[in-house]
Amino acid sequence: MKITCLNCGRPYPDQGTPYKCPKCGGLFDISPLEFDPTQVDKSQPGIWRYRHTFTGLPDTFPTVSLGEGSTPLLWSEAFGRQIAFKCEYLNPTGSFRHRGTSVITTFLQSRGVTFALEDSSGNAGASFAAYAARAGMKAGIYVPAAASGPKRQQIEFYGAELHPIEGTRSDVTVALERAIENPSPTGRGAGVRVAYASHAYLPVNIPGYATAAYEIFEQIGGAPGVVIVPAGQGGLLLGLYRGFDALKRAGLVKSIPHMVGVQARACSPLWVLSTAGMSAWGFVTEGQTLAEGVRVKSPLRAGALLQMVEAGHGEFIPVDETDILRGRDELAKRGLYVEPTSAIVWSALEQALGRLPDPVAVMLTGSGYKYSPH
């Protein structure tokens, strides 16, 4: 497993932490992933049992960990079927993000980073703020000014600098990239090289997300028939897909589950492009949605996700705004309290369950505590 640029094929440099290829500006990626059951280290907690799958980390470098992973898989009834709910919202700051953030922060620290910026709708920012605090690293987090209050408070309590940006989610990334490329000559962080701890760009994130596939495989005792996942950037979806692909190539499962990415219809580029083709790009909107965590107009790894659909391994399903809070309430009635972004999986179950094979695994990505109505 190597990290290479998808555009020019150059390997990731041995020093520094570039988020894009320094030669051509391309996106770095690690694929395929390799899983070796004999190398699973059962003495380690959570995701670190699968350290051998984390390309880019020095073998013995100490981990930056808050106890992420090993989340419960709870079976509950929905629409007359038993569904396996993977409770990712029980991770340390209340979201699935930690699977990637723990690997990213360990990677940054192994390369000498002391100050890093991250942009997020809120959950990835809260997650990185926590891990930066754990690592003794300075963090600056860029979020939409409209991000949920509890997420903004989390970020500030962890001691990170919060930068609320007016405008869309895309405007937040633009503001951060400007800060990375034109660091302030004075003020906080002056003279220190600032890294971009991007959950979307940094390729070491995806193998972290893939650990959820290894856990589901162990918890069910095989591969599920279907995995249903909220998808904005689609990183968790891609990580799960590649994780099951690694299990298949290791001879541990016969086939990869049908992967279902769920998007808010108001901002559903992956659904639009996978059903209507690339020529429909002009029809993609970045509308307001309660599912703020999946409001991503231009997913960076859309190419890999659309290839997954073309290869017959998955699909995207859009969810109407009016169905989101109803989904949250239905999940809460089963003891599963999630934020609106997570709750979109309920409508996807309702729309598609009739044609999906058992066992069905559903990712519950963020805690209900993350959300408060404005």
* Binding stretches for Zn ion (CB under 5 A): 5, 7-8, 10, 21, 23-24, 26
24 versus 192: smaller Cβ distance to Zn ion: 24
4 versus 219: smaller Cβ distance to Zn ion: 4
Smallest separation, CB 203 to Zn ion (Å): 12
Provide the β-strand partners of residue 196. Answer: 117
Q: What is the DSSP letter of 71?
A: -
Name the token pair of 146.
């409209």
* Cis peptide bond prior to 32, omega within 30° of 0: yes
24 versus 311: smaller Cβ distance to Zn ion: 24
Smallest separation, CB 238 to Zn ion (Å): 20
Angle of helix 235-249 versus helix 98-110 axis, rounded to 10: 80
Smallest separation, CB 187 to Zn ion (Å): 32
Smallest separation, CB 76 to Zn ion (Å): 46
The answer to whether 240 and 229 are in contact (CB under 8 A) is yes
Smallest separation, CB 56 to Zn ion (Å): 16
3-state SS, residue 36: coil
The answer to whether 316 and 275 are in contact (CB under 8 A) is yes
Longest dimension (CA), the chain: 61
At CA 19, angle to CA 15 and CA 21, rounded to 5? 80
5 versus 197: smaller Cβ distance to Zn ion: 5
Smallest separation, CB 30 to Zn ion (Å): 15
Q: What is the DSSP letter of 185?
A: S
Smallest separation, CB 200 to Zn ion (Å): 17
Name the token pair of 28.
């770095």
Helix residue spans in 159-221 (DSSP H): 169-181, 205-220
7 versus 70: smaller Cβ distance to Zn ion: 7
31 versus 63: smaller Cβ distance to Zn ion: 31
Closest CA to 210 of 26, 6, 12, 34: 34
Closest CA to 258 of 129, 128, 150, 353: 353
23 versus 188: smaller Cβ distance to Zn ion: 23
